[in-house]
Amino acid sequence: MATESCLRLLYTCRNIFHIRQVHANALINGTFNNLIVANKLLHFYVQHKAINDAYYLFDEMPTRDPTTWSIMVGGFSKLGDYNNCYATFREILRCNITPDNYTLPFVIRACRDRKDIQMGRMIHDVVLKYGLVLDHFVCATLVDMYAKCAVIEDARKLFDVMVSKDLVTWTVMIGCYADYDAYESLVLFDRLREEGFVSDKVAMVTVVNACAKLGAMHRARFVNEYICGNGLSLDVILGTAMIDMYAKCGCVDSAREVFDRMKEKNVISWSAMIAAYGYHGKGKEALDLFHMMLSCGISPNRITFVSLLYACSHSGLTDEGLHFFDSMWRDYGVRPDVKHYTCVVDLLGRAGRLDEALKLIETMNVEKDERLWSALLGACRVHGNMELAGKVAESLLELQPKNPGIYVLLSNIYAKAGKWEKVGEFRDLMTQRKLKKVPGWTWIEVDNKTYQFSVGDRSHPQSKEIYEMLTSVIKKLEMVGYVPDTEFVLQDVEEEVKKEMLYTHSEKLAIAFGLIAIPNKGDPIRISKNLRVCGDCHTFCKMVSDVMKRSIIVRDANRFHHFNEGACSCGDYW
DNA sequence: GTAGGGTTAG
C-alpha cells in the first residue's frame, strides 16, 4: 500500500523539489527498497534533468536491475554527457549485465549525436552478440546513427537486411536520404506505401522535406493530397515543413495558403514564410508578414532576422534592411552574428556601396567566415571592381584554400575583364590543388518524371527535337535583339565556340524540352538548377517569357526567378 | 525505463 501511494504521489510531482520530498519520504518509510519505486524516482529525476540527484540516488540503491541501468544511460545520453553515458554502459558490460533493447538505443544515440562511428560500430557488435538485431528500437537507432555519421551505405545495408521494419524505421531511412539523395527518399516513400503502410505525421515531415530539397512540385501536390486524404492534421511542425516545401517548389502562394490554414504557428513557422517571400523576391510581403508577426506577439529570433535581411537584400530594399540591422539588437535583443553581417554586406554590395561593405567587415566584432567574404567578392563581380576583388580573394583563400567556388568566382571576375592570363592562372591552381569545379546541371519535372540536363547534353531520347526547338527559339530571339553574352564562358576560346557553349547551357536545354513537353501556354515551365543561373541564361529566360509568351520559374542555388513578359522577379539583381 | 519531425547568410 505504501508503495502504491508513493507512486501516486510521484505522478503529482511538478518540480524537482516535490520529487526530493517523495524521495526523502520513501527513505523514511522504507518504500525506497522497492525497486519499482526507486526506478520511478530515478526516472523522474532524469526527466527533470536533475542528473546529480539521479546519480546520488543510483549510488545509494541497495539493488539495481536492467531498468535502473538503462535509465542512467538514457539520462546521460539525453543530457549530452557522453563520457558518463559510455562509462555507465561499460560498467553494465563489466558487471555481466545483459544490455537490453532499452539501454542500447540510448547509447547508440550518444554515438550518433557525437558522430562517433568507431564506438557506434562497437555497439553494433554488441547488438549482434546479444542477438538484438531483430529489435525495431535498436535497429532504427543504428540506421540513424550510421546515416548521421555520414556512412549512408552502412545505414542502407542494415535497413535492407532487416526482416521486418516498422514505420519508425522507414521514417528514419527516408529522413536520412533527404540529406543525401532526396530522390531516393521519394522512391522509399513509394515502396513504403506499396508495402501497405499508412504514413503518420512524422513520416510525412521527412517526405515533405525530400520534396522541398528536390523542388518537385508535382510530388509536392501529391504529398499534400496524401496528407489530407489520410486525415493527418497540420500540426505546427508538419505545417511549417509544408510551407518550406511549397516555397522551394516555386509555389509561394500555396505556401501562404498552408501558412494561413495553420491553427498553431510559432516563430519557426513565421520565419519559414518570411524566408520564402525573401527568396522569391517578394521583399514587401516579407516585411508585411514580419510586422504581422510582431502584432501577434511573436518575438523574432536570429533566423527571423537572417530571413528578413535576406529578403531586403534580394529585393533591393537597402534602407529597410539597414534599419532592421540597426534595430535587431537594440529593439529585439537579437545580437547580430556573422550571418546577419553577411546579409548586410550583400545588401550594401548589391547597392554598389562596396566601400561601406568593406568598412563594415573591417570594423565588426564577430568572427569572419568565408561566406562573408564571398558576399563581398560577389559584389565585386557584379560591379566589376577588380582591385577590391584581389584583396578580398586573399582573405578568402587564406580561410578556404580548398573551396573550388572561390576559384570559379575569381575566374569569373577576371574573365569579365578579359584577363585570360589570370583566368588561366586560377585554372592551373585548381588543377594543381586537385580542385574540381562543381558541374552545373538543370532538372525539369514533366508528368511526374524528372529529366536532367548538363551542358551540351545529348542523352535525352528526344535530344534531336530539343536541339531543333532550341535553334528555332534562339533564331526568334535574335530577331528581336538577343545577343549572346559570351563573358559568361570562362574558357579562352574563339567567339564562335563560346557562342556554341552558351547555346547548350543546361538551363537552355531544359527550357527547350519544357517548351516541347509542356505545350499548354498557361502552364509555367519550372526548372531547377544546382548552381546560380548564368547571366546569359537569365537574359535568355526573360526574352523567352516575352517572345514565346510563357511564364518560366527558375530555382537556382540561391533563390527563385519568376520570368514573365520579359522581366524577372529578381529585378536583374541576384 | 525504449527509436523517427520544421525555418537561416555567398
Given this model, what pLDDT does residue A489 score? Answer: 60
Q: If DSSP codes are grouped into helix, strand and coil, which group holds residue A412?
A: helix
SS percent in chain A: helix, strand, coil, step 5: 65, 5, 30
The reply to whether A44 falls in a domain is: no
Residue A498 lies in a domain: yes
Q: What is the mean pLDDT of chain A?
A: 92
What whole-number distance in Å separates Cα of residue A460 and Cα of residue A453? Answer: 8
Q: Average pLDDT of A106-133?
A: 96
Q: What is the pLDDT of residue A240?
A: 98
Does residue A309 register a pLDDT over 90? yes
The mean-pLDDT minimum among A10-14, A193-197, A468-472, A540-544 falls in A10-14
pLDDT at position A184: 93
pLDDT, residue A493, reads 64
| Residue A1: band (very low, low, confident or very high) from pLDDT cuts 50, 70, 90 | low
What is the nearest nucleotide to A405, using C1' and CA? B10
Q: Tell me if A532 is assigned to some domain.
A: yes
pLDDT at A407: 81
User: Which of strand B's nucleotides are less than 7 A from any protein C-beta?
Assistant: 1-10
| Å separating the CA of residue A125 from the C1' of nucleotide B5 | 29
pLDDT of residue A553: 95
Encode pLDDT of A48-78 as tens digits: 999 999 999 999 999 999 999 999 999 999 9
Q: Would the pLDDT of A408 be above 90? A: no
User: Which of A36-40, A382-386, A415-419, A430-434 bottoms out in mean pLDDT, i.e. has the lowest?
Assistant: A415-419
- Is the pLDDT score of A186 beyond 70? yes
Report the protein residue whose CA lies nearest the C1' of nucleotide B7: A272
Could you give the C-alpha distances from A93 to A54, A60, A66, A69, A117, in angstroms and in order?
21, 20, 11, 11, 20
Helix, strand, or coil (residue A39) = helix
A106-CA/B3-C1' distance, Å: 9
Residue A334 CA to nucleotide B6 C1', Å? 21
Distance of alpha carbon A181 from alpha carbon A198, whole angstroms: 23
What pTM did the predictor assign?
A: 0.91
Residue A205, nucleotide of least CA–C1' distance: B5
Q: State the pLDDT at residue A423.
A: 77
Q: Is the pLDDT of residue A555 over 90?
A: yes
pLDDT (0 to 100) of residue A189: 97
- With cut-offs at 50, 70 and 90, classify the pLDDT of residue A296: very high
Nucleotide nearest A135, from its CA to each C1': B3
Last residue of a domain, one of A249, A264, A279: A264
Distance between CA A101 and CA A66 in Å, rounded?
A: 10
CA/C1' separation A180–B9 (Å): 22
Alpha-helical (H) ranges within A195-216 are 201-214
Which nucleotide lies nearest residue A148, CA to C1'? B4
* The residue type at A97: I
Q: How far is the CA of A158 from the C1' of B7 (A)?
A: 32
The closest nt to A400, taking CA to C1', is B10
CA of A185 to C1' of B7 (A): 21
Q: How far is the CA of A156 from the C1' of B7 (A)?
A: 28
> Residue A527 has what pLDDT?
94
Number of domains in chain A: 2
Nucleotide nearest the Cα atom of A68 (by C1'): B1
Amino acid A187: pLDDT: 94
A513 CA → B9 C1’, Å:
34
Using the CA of A274, give the nucleotide whose C1' is nearest: B7
Q: Which residue has the higher pLDDT, A495 or A231?
A: A231
Q: Which nucleotide is nearest to A574 (CA to C1')?
A: B10
Contacts of A9 (CB under 8 A, 6+ apart): A22, A25
Nearest protein residue to nucleotide B8, judged by CA and C1' positions? A303
pLDDT of A492 over the 80 cut? no
Q: How far in angstroms lies nucleotide B2's C1' from the CA of residue A69?
A: 13
At position A383, the amino acid (one-letter code) is H
Reference A66, options A87, A83, A91; nearest CA is A91
Residue A363: predicted pLDDT: 96
Angle made by CA atoms A427, A433, A438, in degrees to the nearest 5: 60
Which triple of cell numbers denotes residue A194? 506499396
Closest protein residue to B3 using CA and C1' atoms? A137
pLDDT digits (tens, 9 = 90+) for A256-270: 999 999 999 999 999
Backbone phi, then psi, for A278, in 5-degree steps?
-60, -55
C1' of B2 to CA of A537 (Å): 54
Mean pLDDT across A290-300: 98
Comparison of pLDDT for A253 and A492, the residue scoring more: A253
Model confidence band, residue A512 (pLDDT cutoffs 50, 70, 90): very high
Q: Is residue A117 part of a domain?
A: no
Query: For residue A343, which nucleotide's C1' is closest to its Cα?
Result: B9
Residue A490 has a pLDDT of 56
Q: Is the pLDDT of residue A136 over 60?
A: yes
Which range is most confident: A2-11, A57-66, A403-412? A57-66
Structural domain contains residue A405: no
Distance, Å, A129 CA → B7 C1': 42
Give the residue-averaged pLDDT of A226-250.
97
In the sheet that holds A560-564, the strands lie side by side as A449-454, A441-446, A525-529, A552-555, A560-564, A567-568
C-alpha cell, A326: 540597426
State the amino acid at position A140 in one-letter form.
Answer: A
A349 inside domain = no
| CA distances in angstroms from A558 to A60, A168, A202, A339, A561, listed in the order given | 58, 33, 28, 15, 10
A316, amino acid identity:
G
How many CB atoms neighbour CB A76 within 10 A? 25
**pLDDT tens digits along A522-533:** 999 999 998 889
Examine the pLDDT at A487 and tell me if it is beyond 70.
no
Domain boundary among A264, A291, A322: A264
- Does a structural domain hold residue A179? yes
pLDDT of residue A462: 94
- Residue A270, CA: closest nucleotide via C1'? B7
Please state the rounded mean pLDDT for residues A27-44: 92
Instruction: Tell me the C-alpha distance between A339 and A326, whole Å.
Output: 15
How many angstroms separate the CA of A13 from the C1' of B4? 29
- Percentage of chain A beyond pLDDT 70 is 99
Domain contains A166: no
Residue whose CA is minimally distant from B2 C1': A102
Supply the pLDDT for residue A2.
Answer: 74
Helices (H), A280-369: 283-295, 302-314, 318-332, 338-350, 354-363
Nucleotide B9, nearest residue via CA and C1': A339
Q: Which residue has the cell 547508440?
A: A108
Residue A194 lies in domain = 175-264
Tell which of A231, A264, A297 closes a domain.
Answer: A264
